[in-house]
Chains A and B, each alone.
Chain A
């Protein structure tokens, strides 16, 4: 099966527990995290995670993350990686 990945981006005011909430949501769905990076500039957090969604439903992950976004009061976007590959690579 071809490996499929999604990119999760989290943007919002930094506070304790955001990484924990996002990563536990992934763990609950059995989704492995391959890369994680984050920066906080003047209290604003941007975090990107690259996760393996081979054989999983991206929609299910998106629904789960919508709940996390609401609880943590941040914006979370999960997209299939192809949009980034297409836009920046030939």
Chain B
């Protein structure tokens, strides 16, 4: 029989500590939509998404009711679109190819709107080693594609431990971020540049349906920083070994809910259950914060000395607890440290406790990278490229995923409202020393020696 204490604990997590399923993301292969004609490609994309994703939102809502747990986002991720438009742009000039890629983005947008999903990810290219015609067209089209859509998310993988860092792609992405920000800085909230991007990540902006995935798969992203923080506050005297243990136990419980939702929803949609992503994803709501977890461990303000160690403990414990709770772990799995989406982090940035350099250091142990950081509008494309190169190097050398999602807006110290779950941010200073000569050298930084494990 169920234990009354356990029932009340679960309810407290949901009602008070904001436990929710952050996202259910349906990955859909678009491989069979490629055609030598872009209009036909777009038609096939829309048609396929509408048929495979038709019941995603309604079935997810039925589960929300059944278990009384919110599923905050319902999303779709598709095969990197650069691969799908390749045959259609083969014979086209640069400008026409770019327009064709924008048309594909608009097709994704229309499908997302009809399916009533929050976001659709996969306006993506994987270019860690080089560019195809389709990749080039897609990357050129990103600023315009984002600016003419609301729900389309874009990601580009520029590096991997196995291939090294494609510095030509790094520079181009610096320019893309700059251009997209000039059109509207909010565009860049839907754009991430990756190293070692996983093909089953359910979180935006970086979700896409990877190479090697099947026709369709349902991936689940859990949440729950508020739950972990609340538990830690009850153990303020515990040693760090005990802290790790408490986090593990909590992560287990959170992940089990993700496993339940993933299994049942994939069954209802008749698609395979992909993975549970064990990431702790913060929101701007009070207390639902990764920064506050770090502070609950005894760091006065997130970003102070000790923050990297505290974050490392957290990420490792979450993974250990979560791994026991699900059959398939995947995606990014760890803890996100976005600045604007985490009220604790945004405040630490305002006070100068956490800086871009400290965030870079923290990304060597967190699950992604420089995330939702607002840099001054005047920041140059080459400086953004330099930051991307640094993040990529951390990812490549540590054999982990890293990413950069930065927005260029306002002046240093200015408060920028991003709205909804994106929260707010204070514009953070970044070194004005130039790295232009470095990033313009181009070429590939070779993969590290430990990338060759064969």
Contacts and interface: CB of A to CB of B under 8 A. Distances in A.
Q: Is the interface of B mostly helix, strand, loop or mixed?
A: helix
B67 A80 contact: yes
B426 to A, nearest CB: 37
B4 A86 contact: no
B65 interface: yes
A37 B257 contact: no
Contacts of B437: none
A78 B65 CA distance: 9
B377 to A, nearest CB: 46
B1 A86 contact: no
A14 interface: no
Nearest to A46: B8
Interface in A33-65: 35, 37, 46, 48, 50, 58-59, 62
Interface in A55-83: 58-59, 62, 77-83
A77 B6 CA distance: 15
A73 B263 CA distance: 36
B11 interface: yes
B10 A50 contact: no
B2 A83 contact: no
Given A37-B4, A48-B4, A87 B68 contact: no
Interface string B232-270: 000000000000000000000100110110000000000
A46 B67 CA distance: 19
Contacts of B95: none
Nearest to B62: A59
Contact of B66 (A37, A79, A85): A79
Nearest to A59: B65
A88 B3 contact: yes
B1 to A, nearest CB: 6
Given A9-B11, A35-B1, A84 B66 contact: no
Given A83-B10, A84-B10, A87-B10, A50 B2 contact: yes
Question: Chain A: interface residue count, which band?
Answer: 20 to 34
A82 to B, nearest CB: 6
A35 to B, nearest CB: 6
A79 B1 contact: no
Contacts of A84: 2, 6-7, 10
A18 interface: no
A46 B65 CA distance: 21
A86 B68 contact: no
Contacts of B6: 84, 87-88
Interface residues of B, number: 21
Contacts of B66: 58, 79-80
A7 B67 contact: no
Nearest to A81: B2
Nearest to B259: A86
A88 B11 CA distance: 13
Nearest to A58: B66
B187 to A, nearest CB: 38
Contact of B253 (A37, A59, A87): A87
Contacts of B253: 87-88
Contacts of B256: 86-88
A18 B256 CA distance: 33
B339 interface: no
Interface in B5-41: 6-8, 10-11
Contacts of B10: 83-84, 87-88
Nearest to B68: A79
Contacts of A59: 65
A48 B7 CA distance: 8
Interface of A: 7, 9, 35, 37, 46, 48, 50, 58-59, 62, 77-88, 90
Interface of B: 1-4, 6-8, 10-11, 65-69, 253, 256-257, 259-260, 324-325
Kindly list the 8 A-B residue pairs having the minimum CB-CB distance in the complex, ordered from nearest.
Answer: A86-B260, A83-B67, A86-B256, A79-B68, A88-B6, A87-B256, A87-B253, A80-B66
24 contacts: A9-B7, A9-B8, A35-B1, A48-B4, A50-B1, A58-B66, A78-B68, A79-B67, A82-B260, A83-B67, A83-B68, A84-B2, A84-B7, A84-B10, A85-B2, A86-B259, A87-B6, A87-B10, A87-B257, A88-B3, A88-B6, A88-B253, A88-B256, A90-B324
